[in-house]
Chain A
Amino acid sequence: MKKHPPILTVRNLCKYFPIHGKGFFSQVVRLVRAVDNVSLELASGETFGLVGESGCGKTTMARTILRALEPTKGEILFRANGRIVNLVSLKEKRLKSLRPKMQMIFQDPFSSLNPRMTVGNIIAEPLVIHKMAKRSELKDCVAEMLTRVGLEPDHAVRYPHAFSGGQRQRIGIARALIMHPSFVICDEPVSALDVSVQAQIINLLQDLQKDFELTYIFVAHDLSVVKHICDRVAVMYAGKIVELAETKSLFGNPKHPYTRALMSAIPCPDPDKKMSFELRGEVPDPANLPSGCSFHPRCPECFGPCLKELPALRKLEDNRYVACHLY
């Protein structure tokens, strides 16, 4: 995967949410470290999976990368039009000019589409905002995009309620891709869909990736979908990446005890492969993380240093990073 130059480099990205106390000055009493010191590099054209339990910070991280949320600190280097820019220090105006290059596909196809707008207007809106097409061209652009995502051009005059979940997700995809972005964050794009429709959307995302040369960050909690679509996967726990590897080696030989537990929790659709799941407890409160390694109270292999010292994300071999004292 290292053939292409990176399209996105994230360095020491942090997103903290303050919890204010009572009283007039409402001092900050605690910090929720939703994303804590995360670094990663995305090669152009790859699909990068971000997995973890709810509350682990995967969605916050995705949104912070797009600066839909303001990062607390860190660097986000994004390559657009042959130049590398640091998104964190960018002014609003410059950021807006880069928006067409980075888009997002949302989880819920029901709440992510405005029910009062026609499908045509929904899909055309990005072009209007960024003044990327003349009025007269809009209709053709929309029609072309609709066909591309598997809908009919005359669907443009209808409203979102007339469509099924899978079709709405196609509309959301069309809206994200109409400006020909180079980088798209898919935040749980299929988890609200039925299995039979899920497969259609996954196939569509893969086809579009080829045609438009897209780089995806694929946020999901369904590991079988991630295994299917992603080239590399990062596992997040309590705001940090605990393991990062190529999909094959991550699923074939998970190193971090948490990754292993996650893998063993996937119910296999084969009744003869019985699960051996042993993870106790739940995700810790992000405002009140355990000392040392955040995973240690649930970890079956916890020993001395785990209680005191936070393990750093270390390189184990090429393209393989683990944050665990065992290695």
Chain B
Amino acid sequence: MGNDIDYVLKIKNLKTYFQVEQGQVRAVDGVTFSMKRGQTLALVGESGCGKSVTAYSILRLIQEPGRIVGGTIMLYPTDGKPIDITSLDENSEMLYKLRGDLVSMVFQEPTAALSPVHTIGNQIREAILVHQDTSIKQAKEKTINMLGKVGIPNPQNSFNRYPHEISGGMRQRAVIAMALVCRPDLLIADEPTTALDVTIQAQIMGLIKNLQREMGTSVLLITHDLGVVAQTADEAAVMYLGRIVEQAKIRDLVRRPRHPYTRALLKSLPGLTDTHERLVSIKGSVPSMTNIPSGCPFHPRCEYAERGRCDVGGPPELMELSPDRKVACIRAEEIEKV
């Protein structure tokens, strides 16, 4: 591993559990990954795999009955000392600064992320006034400048518009403006384009990329869309049932997936090349979080699963196959030869 200066975020063995009637839901169960500064890491997985809970844990937004029960999340701001997010006090000044200033978030549903009774300008300006020591006038100027940067037409007038007066794509632009106006070190984008049309999706992903380049922000992109991942991320971590099963540079991941789950996911995409062939689907469906299979959690759906090896004991550890490449499968080496 490189110097801490190269990294913006390091998560070690994060465990976030939810206590519900049916038992304990281990939504995030021992997640470990690091993010290089200025890069985009994609957290990929199907719904319910724990990718959003991981993101919420970084911002300490986990609410009862959920709790971070173990692990560390270290954030390395460009200026200032490293912050141990997991040990911050609920009411501390630092947590306040963390949310919105050092780390900010773009949500899936822009309509739900914006207040319907405040103008978009006021909402963005509020983010500045909360975190920075500026006058209201300066903050307004900054807001208008930011609105222009995210491609909202006529920023002067748009400042006074309400979310319902603009389209979904424009709303997501406003949310991005709000997230980036304080120049955070880390931007968490939780399915930022899932609610949008492909054409608008392409515009928004392009916008995030451009702003990232300009501001040097690191982006944690949470998505289930492997196409979006391949087009925007530098690295990707694939999650299944609360654990990371594979992490690699995006090109390696797509070209030579090592974990059977990643392989199957890529194969099940309706390819843009061959038509009318049968799709390779993964048998069964994602098991319930309260009833995680023994051994490797993926073994009941895995085509390479071996009786007596894959279905016993605890889940396999994430092994480092080479620098930049980790896989959690005891048969990873054997499968490679098949």
In chain B, what residue has the closest Cβ to A206? B278
Shortest 6 CB-CB distances between A and B: which pairs?
Answer: A267-B227, A199-B281, A228-B270, A199-B268, A199-B279, A196-B282
Contacts of A203 in B (CB 8 A): 278-279, 281
Inter-chain contact B200/A274, CB cutoff 8 Å: no
Inter-chain contact A221/B281, CB cutoff 8 Å: no
Contacts of B170 in A (CB 8 A): 282
Count how many pairs of residues, one from A and one from B, have CB atoms less than 8 Å apart in the complex: 126
Inter-chain contact B169/A267, CB cutoff 8 Å: no
Which residues of B come within 8 Å of A, CB atoms?
46-47, 167, 169-170, 197-203, 205-206, 224-232, 250-251, 254, 264-266, 268-272, 275-276, 278-282, 285-286
Contacts of A280 in B (CB 8 A): 203
- Chain A interface residue count, CB cutoff 8 Å, equals 44
Mask for A94-121, Cβ within 8 A of B = 1, else 0?
A: 0000000000000000000000000000
Inter-chain contact A262/B199, CB cutoff 8 Å: yes
Inter-chain contact B251/A271, CB cutoff 8 Å: yes
Contacts of B169 in A (CB 8 A): 282
Inter-chain contact B272/A279, CB cutoff 8 Å: no
Inter-chain contact A266/B286, CB cutoff 8 Å: no
**How far does the Cβ of A202 sit from chain B's closest Cβ, in whole Å?**
6
Contacts of B281 in A (CB 8 A): 196-197, 199-200, 203
Bound complex: CA A199 to CA B250 (Å): 23
Residues A195 and B268 in contact in the complex (CB < 8 Å), given A267-B230, A268-B231, A272-B251: yes
Inter-chain contact A269/B226, CB cutoff 8 Å: yes
Bound complex: CA A40 to CA B16 (Å): 54
With beta carbons under 8 angstroms apart, the residue of A167, A224, A229, A282 that contacts B272 is: A224
Inter-chain contact B270/A282, CB cutoff 8 Å: no
Inter-chain contact B265/A262, CB cutoff 8 Å: no
With beta carbons under 8 angstroms apart, the residue of A229, A247, A265 that contacts B201 is: A265
19 A-B residue contacts at CB 8 Å?
A: A53-B198, A194-B46, A195-B269, A196-B281, A196-B285, A196-B286, A197-B285, A198-B268, A202-B270, A224-B270, A247-B275, A267-B205, A268-B227, A268-B231, A269-B254, A272-B251, A277-B202, A279-B199, A282-B169
Bound complex: CA A198 to CA B275 (Å): 16
Inter-chain contact B275/A266, CB cutoff 8 Å: no
Residues A221 and B270 in contact in the complex (CB < 8 Å), given A195-B265, A227-B275: no
Inter-chain contact B250/A196, CB cutoff 8 Å: no
Bound complex: CA A101 to CA B251 (Å): 48
Contacts of B275 in A (CB 8 A): 227-228, 247-248
Inter-chain contact B270/A267, CB cutoff 8 Å: no
Bound complex: CA A279 to CA B282 (Å): 35
Contacts of A195 in B (CB 8 A): 46, 224, 226, 265, 268-269
Contacts of B231 in A (CB 8 A): 267-268, 271, 274-275
**How far does the Cβ of A173 sit from chain B's closest Cβ, in whole Å?**
15
Inter-chain contact A166/B285, CB cutoff 8 Å: yes
Contacts of B201 in A (CB 8 A): 265, 267
Inter-chain contact B264/A196, CB cutoff 8 Å: yes
A143 within 8 A of partner (CB)? no
Contacts of A274 in B (CB 8 A): 231
Which of A166, A196, A200, A222 has most B Cβ within 10 Å?
A: A196
Inter-chain contact B270/A262, CB cutoff 8 Å: no
Bound complex: CA A262 to CA B272 (Å): 14
Residues A54 and B197 in contact in the complex (CB < 8 Å), given A196-B264, A277-B206: yes
Bound complex: CA A268 to CA B170 (Å): 24
Residues A266 and B225 in contact in the complex (CB < 8 Å), given A54-B197, A221-B197: no
Bound complex: CA A166 to CA B287 (Å): 12
Bound complex: CA A229 to CA B254 (Å): 24
Bound complex: CA A225 to CA B275 (Å): 10
Contacts of B167 in A (CB 8 A): 282
Contacts of B250 in A (CB 8 A): 271
A223 within 8 A of partner (CB)? yes
Bound complex: CA A284 to CA B68 (Å): 46
Which of A265, A266, A269 has most B Cβ within 10 Å?
A: A269
Contacts of A80 in B (CB 8 A): none
Which of B170, B206, B231, B266 has most A Cβ within 10 Å?
A: B231
Contacts of A251 in B (CB 8 A): 272
Inter-chain contact A164/B197, CB cutoff 8 Å: no
A270 within 8 A of partner (CB)? yes
Bound complex: CA A265 to CA B281 (Å): 25
A43 within 8 A of partner (CB)? no
Inter-chain contact A282/B200, CB cutoff 8 Å: yes
Inter-chain contact A227/B251, CB cutoff 8 Å: no
Contacts of A228 in B (CB 8 A): 270-271, 275-276, 279
With beta carbons under 8 angstroms apart, the residue of B199, B227, B230, B271 that contacts A53 is: B199
**How far does the Cβ of A229 sit from chain B's closest Cβ, in whole Å?**
8
Bound complex: CA A277 to CA B225 (Å): 18
**How far does the Cβ of B263 sit from chain A's closest Cβ, in whole Å?**
11
**How far does the Cβ of B176 sit from chain A's closest Cβ, in whole Å?**
16
Inter-chain contact B224/A270, CB cutoff 8 Å: no
Bound complex: CA A222 to CA B225 (Å): 11
Inter-chain contact A270/B254, CB cutoff 8 Å: yes
In chain A, what residue has the closest Cβ to B201? A265
Contacts of A164 in B (CB 8 A): 285-286
Which of A166, A198, A228, A279 has most B Cβ within 10 Å?
A: A228
With beta carbons under 8 angstroms apart, the residue of B197, B202, B278 that contacts A267 is: B202
Residues A267 and B228 in contact in the complex (CB < 8 Å), given A53-B199, A164-B285, A194-B286: yes
Which of B199, B226, B228, B276 has most A Cβ within 10 Å?
A: B199
Inter-chain contact A269/B266, CB cutoff 8 Å: yes
Bound complex: CA A270 to CA B252 (Å): 11
| Those of A211-229 within 8 Å (CB) of chain B | 221-225, 227-229
Bound complex: CA A196 to CA B203 (Å): 27
Contacts of A10 in B (CB 8 A): none
**How far does the Cβ of A29 sit from chain B's closest Cβ, in whole Å?**
19
A261 within 8 A of partner (CB)? yes
With beta carbons under 8 angstroms apart, the residue of A54, A206, A269 that contacts B230 is: A269
